[in-house]
Amino acid sequence: MIIRRYISLQVLGSAAAMALVLTVILMSGRIIKYFGMAADGRMDVKLLVAVLVYRIPGFLDLIVPLGFFIAILLTFGRLYLDNEMSVLYASGVSRAQIMGHLVLPTIVVMALVAFTSLYVTPAGNAASERLFARQAESNTFDLIRPGRFQAVGKRMLYAEALSPDRKELLEVHLFEQRPVAGKETRQLLVHAASGRSDRDPATGERYLVLTNGARYEVAPGEAAYRELRFASYRIRLPEPDAPDKLSRISSYSTPKLLQESRTNVHAKAEWLWRVSLPLFVPTAMLLAFSLSRVNPRQGRYAKLLPAILLYMSYVVAVGAARNTIEKGKAGESALWAVHVAYFLLALALLGFEQMKLQLQRWQARRRVVA
């Protein structure tokens, strides 16, 4: 009982620490990306924290098994380095018994990954997608950054400033390229003193209303141009997609995804990927335990890099099988074959030391007989 509690606490504590460190490292790149979107006016800064919270479960699906894998390597590497494993073996504790102490942490991590991949991550992806859709439906001026170009449909909008109440754009410049039948593409340049958003009460369509400006129509290579001055100029804005309609397969709930997987290869590949994520955990445990055995003179990090590369090859192989299924070039058996192959490899590595000892004993007996 003491040994089981000691090993479980060491492994789970190290796994939590590794998962936290890896999450911070991997999320930093996504944070930079979202800050860039906010700076370009494609996302409201107020939504940044919510989007990050919704995205975190998707990172944990792969980070938690990897953190668990590294935690076993480091924990048992230290036990071998400090000769604690030698003491346990000398006290009559077998490798099978020590592996039995890892069953409970493996079940806990496997259940956590299964719950996250099957329920939490799809819900987070759906919430994030709806958040972006509602943002696109919101007031256009909420995303405008003065002094920056903003894409509005097929047009490019530039506003020098915003009014204090953020209801009007000041010194607006609008650029558009419009093809003309039988002629070269013509460019439309619109300048207005101000602009505001308006919605037609009859049709519900949104418009950008520009006031006190001029519209110029020019063609490349021509000196002549057309000028039209106006007091009010209305431009219909494109309507965003409905917020409640999910367009990405990764945002589907697991029951809906399972239903879609019967006729859609993309849904089948996504379903198999979600099921595969918890299966990484037991195979990772076997691989890590078999590779954690180190000589005290080698150091605890001697096999760390090769072990991580082996684990990453496992993840890449499953991802490649998923892509093959998405393209319709293979069935789901291709993905299960990868899991079975790496599980058998883990068992082979686990029994390698025992087979090596048996071979040495057999060779010693042959020398005695001879």
Domains: count for the chain: 2
Residue 178 and residue 190 in contact, taking contact as beta carbons nearer than 8 Å: no
Q: For the chain, how many helices (H) and strands (E)? A: 11, 6
Q: Domain range spanning residue 221?
A: 154-236
Identify whether residues 120 and 81 lie together within a single domain.
Answer: yes
Counting as low any pLDDT under 50, the low residues of the chain are: 139, 242-243
Residue at which a domain ends, from 236, 265, 288: 236
Residue 348 and residue 356 in contact, taking contact as beta carbons nearer than 8 Å: no
Residue 314 and residue 283 in contact, taking contact as beta carbons nearer than 8 Å: yes
- Has residue 370 been placed in a domain? no
- Has residue 309 been placed in a domain? yes
SS3 243: coil
Q: Taking Cα atoms as reference points, which of 232, 235, 240 lies closest to residue 188? A: 235
| Average predicted confidence (pLDDT) for the chain | 81
Identify whether residues 265 and 343 lie together within a single domain.
Answer: yes
Query: How far apart (Å, rounded) are the C-alpha atoms in residues 340 and 255?
Result: 26
Residue at which a domain ends, from 178, 204, 236: 236
- Has residue 148 been placed in a domain? no
Identify whether residues 36 and 168 lie together within a single domain.
Answer: no
Provide the residue count of the chain.
370
Residue at which a domain ends, from 183, 206, 236: 236
- Has residue 144 been placed in a domain? no
Q: Which amino acid is at 270?
A: E
Query: What is the reported pLDDT for 324?
Result: 92
- For 8, half-sphere exposure in the C-beta direction (CA atoms, 13 angstrom radius) is 14
Identify whether residues 250 and 274 lie together within a single domain.
Answer: yes
Identify whether residues 264 and 295 lie together within a single domain.
Answer: yes
- Has residue 330 been placed in a domain? yes
Identify whether residues 20 and 159 lie together within a single domain.
Answer: no
- For 27, half-sphere exposure in the C-beta direction (CA atoms, 13 angstrom radius) is 19
pLDDT tens digits for range 294-350: 776 666 666 788 888 999 999 999 999 999 998 888 888 899 999 999 999 998 888
Identify whether residues 232 and 255 lie together within a single domain.
Answer: no
